[in-house]
Amino acid sequence: MATTRNSNTPAGDRRVRRTHAALARGLIELVEKQDLSRISVADVAERAGVSRSTFYDHYRDVHELAESACTAMIDGLIDSLPVPGPDSADHAQDAAQSLAAFFASLAEHAGLYRALLGPQGSARVSDHIRRRITAAVYDHTHRAADGALPERALSLDSPHDVRAAFTAGAIIGVAADWLQRGCPCPPAEMAALTWPLFAGLYQVDAGTVT
């Protein structure tokens, strides 16, 4: 069972979850106002209402906290991404809405994502996102008629699939570029531009998105 740093308390303990949430929330608030590299452990601890020693019970430094917060949030975002589906206008509309929500969530915490996905960002976070998207796409496209998945497809280490890997790289690239440019297009416009490219890869009718 995973434990917190320098502690025998199970990582799933309610107090630990509250502390993690408070630290992540404090960091997110700070990173929207200043660069991640300028934020200290003392800054985060003060914002979260905990001591520095409590911070170090859970994380080595601010960057590790940032990686943890980012990967936790991105997992939820990836679960909302659209997947190939029936050729219909309804599916195209649902897909566009899912993508718009994805980009809106990125924009909401743009400071954190920009820091970790930028040129001086985190290889760990980029790799986590890439593997999560690759696995999600692979799992969906390899479902059997009864909805069952191959056993080995149920993990992040899915078998090599060029389309899934290409999709993951494309989404990361588009998102990172958009964030670095200051999110110049609204999330809905980004969705309308992105979905036809994604759909075309899987030969899905992109439909008419309004």
Residue-wise pLDDT tens digits, 172-195: 899 999 999 999 999 999 998 988
Residues 191 and 120 reside in one and the same domain: yes
- % of the chain with per-residue pLDDT over 70: 74
Residues 51 and 118 reside in one and the same domain: no
DSSP SS3 for 20: helix
Q: Which residue intervals of the chain are DSSP H helices? A: 14-31, 41-48, 52-58, 62-79, 89-108, 110-117, 123-141, 162-180, 187-201
Contact in structure between 26 and 41 (CB atoms under 8 Å): no
Contact in structure between 168 and 162 (CB atoms under 8 Å): no
* CA atoms of 31 and 110, how far apart (whole Å): 9
- From the list 170, 105, 120, 160, the residue with the least C-alpha distance to 138 is 160
Residue 8 in this model has a pLDDT that exceeds 80: no
Number of domains in the chain: 2
What token pair was written down for 27? 């960091």
Confidence of residue 16 (pLDDT cuts 50, 70, 90): very high
Taking only the tens place, the pLDDT of each residue in 107-142 is 999 989 998 988 888 888 888 888 888 887 777 766
Residue 153 in this model has a pLDDT that exceeds 50: no
Q: Can you give the residue range of the structural domain that contains 85?
A: 69-201
Rounded to 10 degrees, the C-alpha dihedral 10/13/17/19 comes to -80
- From the list 86, 53, 74, 68, the residue with the least C-alpha distance to 2 is 68
How far is CA 182 from each of CA 113, 118, 199, rounded to the nearest angstrom?
Answer: 11, 12, 26
Residue 25 in this model has a pLDDT that exceeds 70: yes
Average pLDDT, the chain: 80
Provide the β-strand partners of residue 3: 10
Residues 23 and 88 reside in one and the same domain: no
What token pair was written down for 70? 């980012």
Residues 102 and 169 reside in one and the same domain: yes
Whether the model clears a pTM of 0.75, i.e. scores above it, the answer is: no
Residues 51 and 148 reside in one and the same domain: no
Residues 110 and 135 reside in one and the same domain: yes
Confidence of residue 143 (pLDDT cuts 50, 70, 90): low
* CA atoms of 192 and 184, how far apart (whole Å): 14
Residues 24 and 86 reside in one and the same domain: no
